[in-house]
Chains A and B, each alone.
Chain A
């Protein structure tokens, strides 16, 4: 069953917490991975791989650069999840 927006946000928050140590409650839709959440380009690859596994979605490298905010990622996953 496909995940809801809320479930995706919650899952991404847990992933970002694991990778960057940011408290889950600070991972909000309008936050920038790079500027607000201490996720640099290498760590973003880790976020993407973890999200792919968790939400059964493929996020090609070319699309990763468009995922600036948590909201961008949530929308992408909502649209592409299997």
Chain B
């Protein structure tokens, strides 16, 4: 065994999203083409220019006991639910150590968020102003710190090989999974629970993103507002939730007889170095990440059957991604079934890479690509085969590869690659 280049596989998936309280219900809704977006009819939303969002389908308070929940930011609650589901789905029956098939010192947790505990911070600021300094919760700091989801997953599962939180805006969840792949590939851990989470449906973040002109203001048609690649797209719709996977060295998975969903081949990373929010429009920045992936994994464009696109439904971003794919993979793009699941989930920001990795892995396992909903008229400049209408079967024979693209404000580009086993 070469301890610096080990094969990594996915053995568990978990999610709590606007489409369902777990990975199976989320996957079912994705295949069925259901939207998780709704009107924000709360009083606090009345004055906002954007009054739509994709709220979580199952409130975490119905799952996590209140004494524990009140010490966790909503983003950490989501992460804990998704991580525990992935953990059980991987066949572990208790936390590391109590389940003797995993040594706590060989288990890691890498869970990212784009913004961290922003609602905790804002709510406690309100408490301080309205009720005074003494009433500020002593749990505020451990709730709002961006590493809180990773730390809480580490504590819950007894993961002692390291708990990490890469932060790269909307690429954070994908970067977490990429980091976890490296932890196993290079021998630092045998098993890592990894993913992303976000909970920022609150008037301040919505006002802020809205004032950037980054969000759709289609308040009259919530379910039709997130429309990646459609000629009438006009911005993203904010979503909340978390997605997590269990990554494991192939040897460790085989030794305990674990079911394997897919192989995690690796990642490609680049930075645009262009603008703090706008994507580099030619696709060169994203293309560098794809090129980086090819160089590090030896991946061939002909193997790629499916792409879970970043595609947030913004005019510039969606096209830059397709240009990059075409630039790097040429005619091979023609046989890639491209899905934009944000058309259904909304954009989960730091949670997106986690949820979309779950979707990518399940797409390979079931050999089905989810549809892109609300795609009535493909942008004439979108030069790719975007799956629309209904879910589409992927090639049933032989190994196929899926990519999960994630890009973040700041010019962070992360591409993850998975292969059928």
Contacts and interface: CB of A to CB of B under 8 A. Distances in A.
Contacts of B135: 49
Contacts of B139: 42-43, 46
Contacts of B71: 42-43
B138 A46 contact: yes
B142 interface: yes
A52 B131 CA distance: 14
B73 to A, nearest CB: 14
Given A46-B137, A49-B135, A38 B142 contact: no
Given A42-B139, A42-B142, A49 B134 contact: yes
A82 interface: no
Interface of A is mostly: helix
Contact of A19 (B65, B67, B134, B142): B67
B66 interface: yes
Contacts of A19: 67, 70
A52 B135 CA distance: 11
Interface string A4-48: 000000000000000111000000000000000010001101100
B128 to A, nearest CB: 13
B67 A45 contact: no
B68 to A, nearest CB: 8
Given A49-B134, A49-B135, A21 B67 contact: yes
Interface in B310-324: none
A20 B137 contact: no
| Interface size class of chain A, counting residues whose CB lies under 8 Å from the partner chain | 10 to 19
A42 B65 contact: no
Contacts of A38: 67
A45 B135 CA distance: 10
Nearest to A21: B67
Contacts of B67: 19-21, 38
Nearest to A42: B138
Contacts of B66: 21
A49 to B, nearest CB: 6
A42 B86 CA distance: 30
A49 B140 CA distance: 15
A43 B243 CA distance: 29
Interface string B46-71: 00000000000000000001110011
A51 to B, nearest CB: 12
A6 B97 CA distance: 44
A19 B137 CA distance: 12
B138 A45 contact: yes
A46 to B, nearest CB: 6
B186 to A, nearest CB: 36
A71 B28 CA distance: 54
Contacts of B138: 42-43, 45-46
Contacts of A45: 138
A42 B135 CA distance: 13
A62 to B, nearest CB: 15
A80 B138 CA distance: 23
A17 to B, nearest CB: 9
A16 B160 CA distance: 31
A52 B134 CA distance: 10
B131 to A, nearest CB: 10
A7 to B, nearest CB: 23
Contacts of A52: 134
Interface in B133-172: 134-135, 137-139, 142
Nearest to A20: B67
B253 to A, nearest CB: 36
A43 B137 CA distance: 9
A46 B142 CA distance: 14
Nearest to A41: B138
Nearest to A49: B134
A64 to B, nearest CB: 11
17 contacts: A19-B67, A19-B70, A20-B67, A21-B65, A21-B66, A21-B67, A38-B67, A42-B138, A42-B139, A43-B71, A43-B139, A46-B137, A46-B138, A46-B139, A49-B134, A49-B135, A52-B134
Closest 3 CB pairs between A and B?
A21-B67, A45-B138, A42-B138
Given A42-B71, A43-B138, A46-B138, 8 more contacts: A19-B67, A38-B67, A42-B139, A43-B71, A46-B137, A46-B139, A49-B134, A49-B135
